[in-house]
């Protein structure tokens, strides 16, 4: 107990035939696919060692946390070894849940649980939650698997690795095309890769075959749009705005996220012009990696005057959405959102 793994290192660890199972595992990630795969691997390892009885609990702040004690103290009618899987979808157990988790960790530390393997599934914990008493005690006791998100830059390598498992490959251009098609949707990427394994033999798959087989399953979100805009990727920015519009995303939400980024840039640009140390301001504004790199990239190409104009542009779009015409602006608020985003991408465009 007390070990910490990432996704790949734990996958190698758990399949080793001599691996001794620990009493308590915590799997933490916002990538539901990878979290589920990790829990599945623990479940299979348990079954291989005779743990055949399984109980699954999904708990939140209002859940029946007494069920944990009932499961760990009950005796199987047939003497089976047990697996107890606890999923906390919000990562917020509440006061009663926090106490139950602290007590569970204490039981494990004292060796009071001998016939049950416990697997707790959590989203990635925010800074405040990670510092809570229940989280610190639980993570100090458990074998922890921390699974990082697969971001846009990592997705091609992830797809390539998954294809390699099937003894398949594609060229780099096709890999980039696949990435665009499944952007933001790891489950969809996983499904499409499995489908390629069923449709085509081992070896290199041709681009035209990929295009015929793969659906357009991109799932766009406003935060990915924000990243594309800040990094200066015009083509991706336009594609994501079109995707958000087509999927029926609320325009005020898109505008709100974009405005927040522009105001953050304006605050930093103002401080820089006044000679302040903006590195300290990054911490005050809760800008942490990897977002800080994108913010710095945008600051390098945008002036304070340009950012002031963008804030006014955002106000104009808000008026357009509410039905008020604005001189010098198009009537379509989505068209103006695209123009505003492209100004952030490259202020020389418009």
Structure tokens at 193: 């890769």
pLDDT band of residue 166 (cuts 50, 70, 90) is very high
The domain spanning residue 207 has which CATH number? Answer: 1.10.8.60
pLDDT for res 350 = 60
pLDDT for res 201 = 92
The reply to whether 89 falls in a domain is yes
Rounded to whole angstroms, the Cα distance separating 120 from 125 reads 13
Q: What is the pLDDT of residues 127-156, one digit of tens each?
A: 889 999 999 999 999 999 999 988 888 899
pLDDT for res 76 = 59
**Quick one: 304 and 340 in the same domain?**
yes
What domain range includes position 97? 4-146
- Boundary residue ending a domain (122, 146, 170): 146
pLDDT band of residue 214 (cuts 50, 70, 90) is confident
The structure tokens 């999904």 sit at: 58
Could you tell me if 306 and 312 are in contact, meaning their C-beta atoms sit under 8 angstroms apart?
Answer: no
pLDDT band of residue 186 (cuts 50, 70, 90) is confident
**Quick one: 53 and 136 in the same domain?**
yes
pLDDT for res 17 = 58
**Long-range pairs, 256-262, Cβ under 8 A, ≥24:** 257/222, 257/223, 257/225, 257/226, 258/225, 258/226, 258/229, 258/314, 258/337, 258/340, 258/341, 258/344, 259/311, 259/314, 261/226, 261/229, 261/230, 261/298, 261/344, 262/307, 262/310, 262/311, 262/314, 262/344
Domain count, the chain: 3
pLDDT for res 1 = 57
What value does the mean pLDDT take over residues 43-56? 90
Q: Which of 46-55, 77-86, 160-169, 324-333 has the lowest mean pLDDT?
A: 77-86
Structure tokens at 46: 């348990």
pLDDT for res 205 = 92
What value does the mean pLDDT take over residues 75-91? 81
The number of residues making up the chain comes to: 350
**Quick one: 160 and 287 in the same domain?**
no
Rounded to whole angstroms, the Cα distance separating 277 from 57 reads 49
DSSP 149-198: ---TTTHHHHHHHHHHHTTEE--HHHHHHHHHHTTT-HHHHHHHHHHHHH
Rounded to whole angstroms, the Cα distance separating 327 from 320 reads 10
What value does the mean pLDDT take over residues 312-324? 91
Q: What is the pLDDT of residues 90-110, one digit of tens each?
A: 899 999 999 999 999 999 999
pLDDT of 29 > 70? The answer is yes
Closest by CA position to 88, among listed 64, 72, 54: 64
**Quick one: 126 and 51 in the same domain?**
yes
The reply to whether 159 falls in a domain is yes
DSSP 29-91: -S-HHHHHHHHHHHHHHHHHTTEEEEEEEE--TTS-THHHHHHHH---TT--EEEEEEE-TTS
The reply to whether 67 falls in a domain is yes
**Quick one: 236 and 328 in the same domain?**
yes
Q: Mean pLDDT across the chain, nearest whole number? A: 89
pLDDT for res 20 = 85
pLDDT of 200 > 60? The answer is yes
**Quick one: 112 and 70 in the same domain?**
yes
pLDDT over 90 percentage in the chain: 52
**Quick one: 178 and 88 in the same domain?**
no
Could you tell me if 187 and 33 are in contact, meaning their C-beta atoms sit under 8 angstroms apart?
Answer: yes
Rounded to whole angstroms, the Cα distance separating 44 from 239 reads 41
pLDDT band of residue 198 (cuts 50, 70, 90) is confident
The reply to whether 350 falls in a domain is no
Residue 203 or residue 224, greater confidence: 203
**Quick one: 42 and 108 in the same domain?**
yes
The domain spanning residue 63 has which CATH number? Answer: 3.40.50.300
pLDDT for res 8 = 87
pLDDT for res 179 = 85
Could you tell me if 81 and 115 are in contact, meaning their C-beta atoms sit under 8 angstroms apart?
Answer: yes
**Quick one: 227 and 311 in the same domain?**
yes
The structure tokens 């589920």 sit at: 36
pLDDT band of residue 77 (cuts 50, 70, 90) is low
Could you tell me if 34 and 7 are in contact, meaning their C-beta atoms sit under 8 angstroms apart?
Answer: yes
What value does the mean pLDDT take over residues 290-313? 93
What value does the mean pLDDT take over residues 109-113? 92
- What's the whole-model pTM score? 0.67
Tell me how far the alpha carbon of residue 143 is from its chain's centroid.
Answer: 21
- Boundary residue ending a domain (88, 114, 146): 146
pLDDT for res 219 = 65
pLDDT for res 216 = 58
What value does the mean pLDDT take over residues 63-72? 90
pLDDT of 302 > 70? The answer is yes
pLDDT band of residue 75 (cuts 50, 70, 90) is low
């Amino acid at each position: 107990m007390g070990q910490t793994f990432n996704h790949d290192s734990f996958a190698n660890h758990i399949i080793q035939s001599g691996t001794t199972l620990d009493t308590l595992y915590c799997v933490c990630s916002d990538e539901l696919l990878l979290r589920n795969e990790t829990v599945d691997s623990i479940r299979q390892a348990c079954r291989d060692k005779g743990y055949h009885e399984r109980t699954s609990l999904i708990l939140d702040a209002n859940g029946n946390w007494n069920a944990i004690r009932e499961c760990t103290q009950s005796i199987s009618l047939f003497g089976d070894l047990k697996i107890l899987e606890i999923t906390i979808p919000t990562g917020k157990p509440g006061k009663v849940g926090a106490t139950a988790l602290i007590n569970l960790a204490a039981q494990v530390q004292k060796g009071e649980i001998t016939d049950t393997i416990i697997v707790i599934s959590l989203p990635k914990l925010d800074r405040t939650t990670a510092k809570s008493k229940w989280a610190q005690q639980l993570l100090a006791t458990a074998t922890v698997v921390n699974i990082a998100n697969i971001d846009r830059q990592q997705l091609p390598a992830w797809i390539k690795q998954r294809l390699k498992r099937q003894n398949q490959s594609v060229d780099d251009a096709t890999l980039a095309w696949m990435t665009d098609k499944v952007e933001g949707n790891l489950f969809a990427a996983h499904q499409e890769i499995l489908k390629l394994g069923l449709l085509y033999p081992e070896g290199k798959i041709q681009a035209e075959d990929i295009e015929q087989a793969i659906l357009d399953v991109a799932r766009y979100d406003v935060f990915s749009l924000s990243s594309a805009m800040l990094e200066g990727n015009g083509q991706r920015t336009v594609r994501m705005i079109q995707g958000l519009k087509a999927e029926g995303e609320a325009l005020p939400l898109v505008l709100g996220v974009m405005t927040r980024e522009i105001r953050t840039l304006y605050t930093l640009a103002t401080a820089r012009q006044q000679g302040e140390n903006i590195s300290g301001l990054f911490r005050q504004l809760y800008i942490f990696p990897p977002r800080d790199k994108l913010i710095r990239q945008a600051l390098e190409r945008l002036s304070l005057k340009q950012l002031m104009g963008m804030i006014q542009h955002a106000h104009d779009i808000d008026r357009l959405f509410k039905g008020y015409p604005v001189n010098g602006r198009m009537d379509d608020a989505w068209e103006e959102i695209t123009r505003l985003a492209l100004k952030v991408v490259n202020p020389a465009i418009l």
